[in-house]
Amino acid sequence: MAELNFSLTCINLVEILNRKAYSYPDVFQQLTGGNSMRITIIHGQNHKGSTYHIARMLAEKLGGEMKEFFLPKDFDSFCAGCTSCFGKDEKLCPHYEKLKPITQAMDMADVIILASPVYVYHVTGAMKAFLDHYGYRWMVHRPEEKMFRKQAVCISTAAGAGMKSTNKDMADSTFFWGVAKTYKYGIAVFETSWARVNSRVKRRIDKKTTALAKKIKKNQRKVKPSIKTKVYFNVMRMMQKNGFNKADGDYWKEKGWMGKKRPWK
């Protein structure tokens, strides 16, 4: 029976791969019955403090397959400012191969969690350096069409204040990437150690992450971009029609976005 099930799985895989409309993430969904959620967490620090624990708490409540990356351990390079990604091809970035595992994990994910503690009212330097490398993916350039069907969560903590501006640092990128829905959660934990965070604060966090997980599950594979995103996309489309940048224009034409095709359909 086990051998038969394995053979059927292989046959199903071949059939799915032969359908040009399917990408690898869709293959995963077909083979798992469409019920498993894939989550990619990008931690803006190496240590496992309050922000880490909240991101993990949410991911565990979502269930499914989880991948985690820690900055700067898993990516520690600063953007060189060479503009090769904008003007020519992102593969010409000197850090392209180094960043590739994280890029692939984000593209495969249903939910992307960006988590950063507050450093002087903003994200960590490691998170900022990481996000800088995806400028070419902003809608003004060459957005990845998979992003328009994803959900993202921006999480930040502080001993005092600064969560709003820190979450905005991350949410700016998810919006301009075209992510369909971005949730933001910031909380003052009034501590520098998760172990010392007050139990009442932890109960609030538990309640909030439970509610957030419920919303995300409800929207899984049903989420669509907001009116704001669609309007911005169409403004960028007009710019591409006017020949803003050849590399970008060629990309948009290849995707069919100069016509009636849209990445969220």
* Predicted confidence pLDDT, tens digits, the chain (265 residues): 545 444 444 445 444 444 333 344 444 444 444 558 999 999 999 999 999 999 999 999 999 999 999 999 999 999 999 999 999 999 999 999 999 999 999 999 999 999 999 999 999 999 999 999 999 999 999 999 999 999 999 999 999 999 999 999 999 999 999 999 999 999 999 999 999 999 999 999 999 999 999 999 999 989 999 999 999 999 999 999 888 899 999 999 999 999 999 999 9
Question: What one-character-per-residue DSSP string does 180-223 give?
Answer: SEEEEEEEE-S-S-GGGS-HHHHHHHHHHHHHHHHHHHHHTTT-
Per-domain boundaries in the chain:
1-35, 37-226
- Residue 111's Cβ-side half-sphere holds a number of Cα atoms within 13 Å equal to 30
Whole-number pLDDT of residue 242: 86
Specify whether the CB–CB gap between 264 and 180 falls below 8 A.
Answer: yes
Whole-number pLDDT of residue 35: 58
How many other C-beta atoms can be found within 10 angstroms of the C-beta atom of residue 205?
20
Quote the CATH superfamily of domain 37-226.
Flavodoxin domain (3.40.50.360)
Compute the distance between CA of residue 67 and CA of residue 94 in angstroms, rounded to an integer: 24
Compute the distance between CA of residue 159 and CA of residue 21 in angstroms, rounded to an integer: 48
